[in-house]
Amino acid sequence: MNNDVFFIILGIVFVLLPCLGVFDKQKQNLKKHGKSVTATVINYEKVSSGDGYNWEPVLEYEVNGTKFWRRGNGHIIQIYEIGQRIELIYEENNPNNFMIDTVRERNSEIGMTVLFIVIGVGLLVWPLFLRDAIGVFH
């Protein structure tokens, strides 16, 4: 395969990946129809993530008099403090199905989307303009 075609295909994949994430039906459904509850970070669990470890906050929250303890999204570092209260959105008929609804989580999603799009555009632009300007692959 020609190097130009490889970069173009890879660029398209990087641009499309976050677009597909935007249409995550489960998250969209929770945002639209979910109920809000405040949870408390009670601990962290270190979880293997293939290329290292992530810290997943253990959350405690109560829905209709029933307490739940679940792990939230993992991060490379512990981004919440033990005892910190954070907002969750949960599915009314299944409180085990939830998402963390904080500015930090939303910014993380936006940051990853922007990063993928920038990389994708860079990969698309590389074979069209920059390769000749820099003189690589000749």
The span from the CA of 17 to the CA of 128, in Å, is: 21
**Domain coverage including residue 68:** 3-134
pLDDT confidence tier of residue 108, bands split at 50, 70 and 90 = low
pLDDT tens column, 62-107: 999 999 999 987 777 778 899 999 999 999 999 998 888 855 555 5
pLDDT tens digits for range 27-72:
777 788 889 999 999 999 988 877 788 888 999 999 999 999 999 8
Task: Give the pLDDT confidence score for residue 124 in this predicted structure.
Answer: 77
Integer CA distances (angstroms), 132 to 1, 22, 125, 126, in order: 19, 35, 11, 9
Q: Is the pLDDT of residue 135 over 60?
A: no
Domains contained in the chain, number: 1
